[in-house]
């Protein structure tokens, strides 16, 4: 039973090595010459003149959430399109309901002015 999970374990270990390995090699082989400018919080040439905890407009977050929602919609469309022959008419109707709900939500957001930028 455990031998069925060996390929998964190998895949996870290789993924970790490919992710952490280059970072570790860069850290070990890269030059370590910190100075006061590199250790400063800003490298843009001047000190900060405002509080870093200022309030952002809620539209930034709204646009980000709408992007995530419609990005996930596309993520659901690809497997559905691949398995369309297997799911048949019921799958077609279910995806139609799903897309209709998303389009209605998008139209609602559009009418409320959530996508308007001044």
Distance of CA 100 to the CA centre of its chain: 24
Q: What angle do CA 60, 64, 68 make, to 5 degrees?
A: 170
Examine residue 117 and state whether it is found in any structural domain, yes or no.
Answer: no
Q: Which domain holds residue 32?
A: 2-112
The tally of domains found in the chain comes to 1
Examine residue 93 and state whether it is found in any structural domain, yes or no.
Answer: yes
Q: For position 28, what pLDDT does the model report?
A: 94
Q: What angle do CA 12, 14, 19 make, to 5 degrees?
A: 95
The rounded distance, in Å, linking the Cα atoms of 118 and 102 is: 25
Q: For position 8, what pLDDT does the model report?
A: 93
Q: Give, rounded to a whole angstrom, the gap between the first and last alpha carbons of the chain.
A: 60
Examine residue 33 and state whether it is found in any structural domain, yes or no.
Answer: yes
Q: For position 25, what pLDDT does the model report?
A: 95
* pLDDT tens for the 118 residues of the chain, in order: 778 899 999 999 999 999 999 999 999 999 888 887 777 766 566 666 666 677 777 777 877 888 888 888 888 888 888 888 888 899 899 989 988 988 898 888 888 877 777 6
What CATH number is associated with residue 6?
A: 1.20.58.1610
Phi, psi of 3, rounded to the nearest 5 degrees: -65, -20
């Amino acid at each position: 039973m455990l031998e069925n999970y060996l390929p998964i374990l190998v895949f996870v270990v290789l993924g970790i090595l490919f992710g952490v390995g280059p970072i570790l090699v860069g850290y070990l082989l890269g030059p370590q010459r910190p100075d006061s400018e590199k250790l400063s919080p800003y490298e843009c040439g001047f000190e900060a003149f405002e509080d870093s905890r200022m309030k952002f407009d809620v539209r930034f977050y709204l646009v980000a959430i709408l992007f995530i929602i419609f990005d996930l919609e596309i993520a659901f469309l690809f497997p559905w399109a691949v398995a369309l022959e297997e799911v048949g008419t019921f799958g077609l109707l279910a995806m139609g309901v799903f897309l209709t709900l998303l389009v209605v939500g998008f139209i609602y957001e559009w009418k409320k002015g959530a996508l308007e930028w001044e």
